[in-house]
Amino acid sequence: MAQCKLTPQEFIKNSFTPQVAVICSPKAEETCRKNNLSFTELLQPFCKLGTEAHYKDLNGGAVSLRNFKISLQDINYRPPQPVLARKFLNASVNDISESRLHTVSIGDYTLQVPYSVPWFEAWRDTFLQVQFPSDHEFTKHFIACMLIVSTTDDNPVRMMVDLSQKVNDLQMSPKLPKWFSNNVMRYYIIIHETMDSNHVHAVECYDALKMSYGTHNCFLLKTNSRRANQSDDQLPDPWSQFISTKIQYSEDDTPEASPSTSSADLSLESTDGNTLTYHPLSPEGDKLLSNDEEEVDKIPNKTNYVLHGACLSMEDVEQLKLLIHEFCIRALLPFVERQVSILNEYVANKKGVSRSLFSATKRWFTPHKPGSSGATNAPIYYLDAPELQVRRLGDLYFMFGNYSAAFQAYHTAKRDFNADQAWLHYAGALEMAALSAFMANETSRKTLDYMEESITTYLNTCKMAQFATRATLFSFECLKGRSLYGDAAHQLIRMTSEESDLRSALLLEQAAYCFLHSTKPTMVRKYAFHMVLAGHRFSKAAQRKHSLRCYKQAYQVYQNKGWNLALDHIYCTIGKQANNLDLLQESIESYAKLLSEDSRQSPQQQALFLKEYLTIHNILNKKQIGGTSNQIIYPLPLPLLVAEHTKVLVAPTLPLRIPGKVPAMGVTLLTKDDPATSQRWQKLEEMVVQEVQGSLPMIFKPMVTLFTQENCNMNPTAILGEPIQVLVQLRNPLQILLLLKDIYLLWQYSDDTNKFVTNEIIGTTSDQYVKTHYIKSVVLQANSAEDVILTLTPLAIGQVVLVGTCYSLVCSNNTEEQIEVKGKQVFKMNERKKKKENQEQKPDKRLHINVVPPAACLQVSFCEINPELLRNELQQISVELRNVGSVPLHKVYMATSTPHLLSSCDFSTNSRTFDDDVDLESHVAKESEARRNHITSVPLVNNQLDPGQCKNINIWIKAPDIIGPAYIDLLIYYENVDAVNSPKYRLVRHVWNLSIQESIKVNVTTQQSSNSKTSEQLTLSVTATNMNKMHHVIGTEISVLNSALLSEDWTLLNEMVAPECIKLHSQESVHIVLKAQRRSSKNSSYSVVSFVPHKQSLQYSNSAYLDFAKRNDQNRINVFDTSNDIENLSKNKKVDATLILRWQAHVIDSKSIRRTVYGQNQVPVYIIQEDEEEEEDDYLGPIVFFDNRQDEDSFTPNKKKDDDLSMLQRQISYNLIHPVKISHDFTLKKLCIIRIKMLLHSIAETSLEVIVKTLEISR
């Protein structure tokens, strides 16, 4: 706990030292002023005896006095009036520097508290000094008087007589000063300057004084033995610490008397009702004329140092010490012995005699407890009243160290005052009795109760807050000396009120230290709470330095405890007081904590805090800039930068959007691929790299251009001249809007030559190495986060490290008054939490970017299409490939994971069909076929694309056959012509995100035709239905254009049954019958039957339609189709044919925009269909057909479990050709012979043996 410089005993002893008046002749004062000191100030450092003194008590016993001290006071000194007294009290606290701190550990708390409290001690000493002496006590009355003349006076002896007469006049006057008795001791001093050669005159004057006043009452003081400008060593300056500021009142300004208990009332009221102050330090005095400039001007300026004692030698100093010793030992103590004897004799003679009939009757008929109205009816004592003499005797004993005798006298006096209901005298006697017991080392609880009753009587009955405060200060020391810190804190807190902020602040602070020093129990939180209260009262008293200190000490307890509202109050006050004290850095640090996400303040309060923070920050920035042009950017508390959401993209920016064109999506900062999508892109990249380069490296690493928290352990590689984009998430934790202006990235550039450049300092030139792009403004909504994309472009090869973001935080209530502060947020990437305990944390490298030489850059754009497609709709898309880089490129390839939905037939150079014989048992062959299905090479002029050149191609996409959301992806690969450049290849991504709507649904059933007599024919029954709903937001009218058949074995005939014009509205259907005829070919043929006139037929080329049809007809390997097992591809059931139905649709979308689209439905055709309800029996032997009418039991073939033979059975079909109607006369001939021709059809590629058996049906 903070300790006082003096022990309780020392403080009490120094507070009640004997008062000695000093009166000097003008010449004597002039002699002292040669040392820049008055006579009082000259003796001040030597007023304490260096040896032990003794005097005899009434019983003849010796009373020892150790460190005995007297207090010298100029006889003309007057305590300052209330306004000025308050100024001195404030100055005494404000002028003291803060004490050194030390660490105290209490429980879980580690606190920094001051070693001492010199400001409290200074205020306490000043408080006691500025008090007016009161008539109810004599400790502040002069007990002796020093009269000083100089040998330079015209007649020193006569001057001494005049001074003595002046003292007599002052003793008879009702004005100040107050005297201990009518017969005070007088001590006569004559000053002689040693440099004066007239020593005889000095001795003669001294002898004359001894003859008149006695040998022990006179002293010849020899001083000023050296000249002021003498060059030998100067003496130490012991006077500086004792010189205090005093206001000397002229005689005209001196009150007629100090406030006296002999007045009829202790507080008088003026005619206008305003209360007159009884005492300068009464609560009302704090409110009077607090800004009286005239009184304040009387306080001298202490800033200039003054040399003291320049004319004094060591011999002179010893003379001063001898003067005090002679005065105390030979004059003052013998005088005290006589006064004790006289007072004891007087008290003994007058004991029990009442001074009036009124006082005698009151002792019998009135209660003996102080009441609230007792002070106004207090008795009036004459100066020689026995009660006052007892009190005077007690004060004499106390001042001269006989504390036991003093206690007895005070105890007697307090009974008399209690009986007379003289409550002010009673409270004073109780106060001194308690102090006497403490100084006598008595531990009775009763003596502590004396002090408690004294304080309450002063406070409640007498309404004397200044005396209650003084008693509390003494009681605090007593209780502290006995380690009763709880009681001490209680008394200190009781004296706090709204009437005096400074007094309340100091007492609350001391109470807080009492709680901190308490051990049973420890009361750290009470310490912090009362320290906050003290800081608040210091603030109200304009003691900003001490208010700041108190709040900082309280903060040590409140921090990290979750008491957010208490912390906000502490932060706010620390910020304000630090700002008032010009501690701007500390102020903004405190205000910054008010703008954290833990703030529980209202939006209006948060806005005020932000405005105050920015205002102070602006002032600090202006001071730090001074005359320099370079300015360091400091971090700001708002907004918060969420480091884990930071993304870095090293890829070309998308081109400006042109109407009708859509740039390739590529990889953007907003790309959020799920694991399946990422794996798909990586597989495509792996396939195209293997296809182009012939083989893969031993460890294939896909190209990464977007760096996030998941892949942060790799260094990004940026291309010279291409932008680096960074996505940062800025979060506003407050409930108010935040406006940011001029946002950009902070970076550091270095190269192999150790060149270092940064843009962290405003005013430095850095654009020649890295071009920084600005965002004009961003508005962050209350309690929200915003993703901001910032860009910079490297202009030199080397390394770029991203440091953070810089911006201007703006606070404005209107456009005219804007407060703007430039600051930054620093990336703290390595502060991410570990996912698992004890897991090694990899360094985050995503902000450390390597810049490499220029590379080719392919910019891809597509024609714009409507993303709402109908099922099986076809769209032609024009693609523009433009080299916007500075070097040529070549080897452009396209890859897709949906080859059945994307066709490059317009420029594809693949001549071999997928029906060629390929050994699919070979793993290498399978992978090659898969890559051939997914990857297409783009032909270039001269096999390369030079910078600035453009290549246009067309591709087709087909909407899938499933309604709902769908996608078609495309990966474009290209390489630098110069293989040395890094990166070796680059990629461009694009995805068409589609919404598939209903169109036409086609069902096909087959039936063998019996009309053909020359070759096998097939009847195809086609049902087409417009599946669009009547009330759907998208309306379609579908026209069927033609039908086509793609097959190796069948070709469409021009025979059909169909309506003349096929137009299908919503939910309408049409039935079409087509006929196909068998043919034999190794390759699939394409036959078409049109339903419309030739001029209305499809305008587009058949190549895209054929390509999509063949992709369904042929067995192609799709590695991304989970339902397509490559290992079982050869075992798939072969499709006999693919029926293609082409259509045209008129669409009205949700925006009432009409458009015409084309599409085709592809339906696989199986000539022989399995009967799922009938169980198939596999058996050995030849293929046998039998009459279905016969009994199954009549023919039981041998069964064989052979899957291949079962398949062959289903590949044989037959037709029976016979007349439908025959005329026969059975009367002429009973046997009718019907010729039936059986046609057997085999679609198998092997030779088959067929046995036909017929059996007569039993009747």
pLDDT tens-place string over residues 447-498: 889 999 999 999 999 999 999 999 999 999 999 888 899 999 999 999 998 8
Query: Are the CB atoms for 507 and 42 separated by under 8 Å?
Result: no
Work out the number of other CB atoms within 10 angstroms of the CB of residue 1165: 19
Chain-centroid distance, C-alpha 592? 7
Instruction: Among 471-480, 933-942, 994-1003, 1014-1023, name the one with the lowest average pLDDT.
Output: 1014-1023
pLDDT band at 628 (very low <50, low <70, confident <90, very high): low
Q: Which helix (H) or strand (E) holds 800?
A: strand 798-812
Task: Give one word for 843, left, alpha or beta, with left for phi > 0 and alpha for psi -120 to 50.
Answer: beta
Pairing relationship of beta strands 985-997 and 868-870 according to DSSP bridges: parallel
Residue 185 token pair: 């001791």
Q: Which residues contact 776 (CB under 8 A, 6 or more apart)?
A: 741, 742
* pLDDT over threshold 90, residue 1091: no
Distance CA 259, CA 267 (A): 10
* pLDDT value of residue 6: 86
Question: By mean pLDDT, which of 419-433, 573-587, 984-998, 1231-1245 is the weakest?
Answer: 1231-1245
Cβ atoms 324, 239 nearer than 8 A: no
Most confident of 386-395, 837-846, 1189-1198: 386-395
Summarize pLDDT for 231-255 with one digit per residue, the tens. Answer: 555 667 888 888 754 444 434 444 4
Residue among 912, 889, 901 nearest 981 (CA) = 889
Q: For 240, which DSSP code? A: G
Q: Does residue 704 register a pLDDT over 60?
A: yes
d(CA 543, CA 990): 69
Residue 73, SS3 per DSSP: strand
pLDDT, tens digit (0-9, with 9 covering 90-100), for 641-669 = 998 899 999 988 888 888 889 999 888 88
- At residue 242, the pLDDT reads 80
Q: What is the average per-residue pLDDT within 1187-1192?
A: 46
The pLDDT score that the predictor gives to residue 167 is 95
Evaluate whether 547 touches 573 at the Cβ level (below 8 Å).
yes
- pLDDT at residue 1183 in the model: 56
Q: Is the pLDDT of residue 877 over 70?
A: yes
Read off the pLDDT of residues 775-808 as tens digits, 9 standing for 90 and up. 999 999 999 999 999 999 999 999 999 999 999 9
Tokens of 392: 């005077």
- 1041-1055 as b/e: b if 16+ CB within 10 A: bbbbbbbbbbbbbee
- Highest mean pLDDT out of 110-124, 264-278, 918-932: 110-124
Which residue spans within 522-569 are E strands per DSSP? none
- 276-280, 508-512, 1013-1017, 1101-1105: least confidently modelled range: 276-280
Residues 452 and 491 sit within 8 Å (Cβ to Cβ): yes
Q: How far apart are CA 934 and CA 683, in angstroms?
A: 11
Does 352 or 1155 have the greater pLDDT score? 1155
Kindly compute the dihedral angle of the four CA atoms of residues 575, 578, 584, 588, in this order, to the nearest 10 degrees: -20
Contact 871, 960 (CB under 8 A): yes
Q: Which contiguous run of DSSP H or E holds residue 540?
A: helix 524-540
Lowest mean pLDDT among 307-311, 1050-1054, 1149-1153: 1149-1153
Percentage of the chain exceeding pLDDT 70: 82
Residue 692, token pair as written in the block: 């182009």
Q: How far apart are CA 432 and CA 391, in angstroms?
A: 10
Peptide bond into 899 cis (omega under 30): no
Please name the residues in contact with 822: beta carbons below 8 A apart, sequence gap of 6 or more. Answer: 621, 631, 633, 742, 762, 806, 807, 808
Q: Which phi and psi angles does 495 have, rounded to 5°? A: -85, 0
- Which residues face 1239 on adjacent strands? 1215
Q: What pLDDT, on the 0 to 100 scale, is given for residue 1245?
A: 67
Round to whole Å and give the CA distance between 485 and 11. 18
Compute the Cα dihedral for 193, 199, 203, 209 and give only its sign: negative
**Residue pair 861/918 in contact by the 8 Å Cβ criterion:** no
Q: What is the structure's pLDDT at 283?
A: 39
User: Using one digit for the tens of pLDDT, what is the confidence trace for 323-334?
Assistant: 999 999 999 999
Report all structural domains of the chain as residue ranges with CATH numbers, in order of start: 8-79+131-247+299-334 (3.40.50), 353-631 (1.25.40.10), 634-659+705-831+842-852 (2.60.40), 858-910+923-996 (2.60.40.10), 999-1165 (no CATH), 1183-1252 (no CATH)
Name 882's bridge partners.
859, 950
pLDDT band of 713, cuts 50, 70, 90: confident
The tokens for 99 are 């004490």
pLDDT score at 1101: 56
Residue 1210 pLDDT greater than 50, yes or no: yes
| Gap between the Cα atoms of 124 and 507, Å rounded | 10
Please classify residue 206 by burial: count the beta carbons closer than 10 Å to its beta carbon, then call 0-12 exposed, 13-18 middle and 19+ buried.
buried
How much is the pTM? 0.75
Model pLDDT, residue 259 = 38
As given in the structure block, the two tokens for residue 831 are 């502060």
Q: Give 81's DSSP letter.
A: P
**pLDDT above 80: residue 911:** no
Average the pLDDT over each of 780-789, 943-952, 1031-1040 and give the range with the smallest value: 1031-1040
Q: Is 740 helix (H, G, I), strand (E, B) or coil?
A: strand
CB 258 within 8 A of CB 132: yes
SS3 1255: coil
**Torsion angles phi and psi, residue 17, rounded to 5:** -80, 150
Are the C-beta atoms of 28 and 149 separated by less than 8 Å?
yes
Output b/e per residue, 450-469; b: 16+ Cβ within 10 A.
bbbbbbbbbbebbbbbbbbb
Tell me the DSSP string of 418-440: HHTT-HHHHHHHHHHHHHHHHHT
Residue 1239 banded pLDDT, cuts 50, 70, 90:
confident
- What Cα–Cα distance (Å) separates residue 622 from each residue in 556, 578, 619, 945? 32, 17, 5, 56
Separation CA 810–CA 787 (nearest Å): 19
pLDDT, residue 913, reads 52
Does 956 have pLDDT greater than 60?
yes
- Which residues partner with 1183 through β-bridges? 1250
Pairing of strands 770-772, 738-750: unpaired
C-alpha distances in angstroms, 1006 versus 350, 608, 702, 916, 1009? 148, 83, 50, 28, 9
Measured CA to CA, the distance from residue 201 to residue 190 in angstroms comes to 11
User: Taking all residues of the chain, what is their mean pLDDT, rounded to a whole number?
Assistant: 83
pLDDT digits (tens, 9 = 90+) for 811-836: 866 655 788 899 999 998 766 544 44
pLDDT value of position 352: 54
CB atoms within 10 A of CB 1224: 12
Distances (CA, A) of 508 to 6, 499, 537, 790: 20, 14, 9, 54
Under a CB-based contact definition with an 8 Å cutoff, are residues 1154 and 1051 in contact? no
Whether 1061 has a pLDDT exceeding 90, the answer reads no
Rounded Cα distance between 363 and 386, Å, is: 15
- Mean of the pLDDT values across residues 863-879? 92
- The arithmetic mean of pLDDT across residues 739-766, rounded, is 87
Quickly count: other Cβ atoms within 10 Å of residue 367's Cβ.
9
1215 pLDDT above the threshold of 80 = no
> What pLDDT was estimated at residue 248?
40
Alpha helix ranges (H) inside 309-352? 314-326, 333-350
Q: Please report which confidence band the pLDDT of residue 918 belongs to, taking 50, 70 and 90 as the band edges.
A: low
Cα–Cα distance measured from residue 66 to residue 697, given in angstroms and rounded to the nearest whole number: 99
Q: Which of 562-571, 627-636, 948-957, 964-973 shows the lowest per-residue confidence on average (mean pLDDT)?
A: 627-636
Q: What's the farthest any 2 CA atoms get from each other in the chain? A: 202
The answer on pLDDT for 278 being more than 70 is: no
For 115, how many CA atoms within 13 A lie in the half-sphere containing its CB? 6
Nearest to 1042 by CA among 1143, 1123, 942, 1116: 1143
Rg from Cα positions in the chain? 57
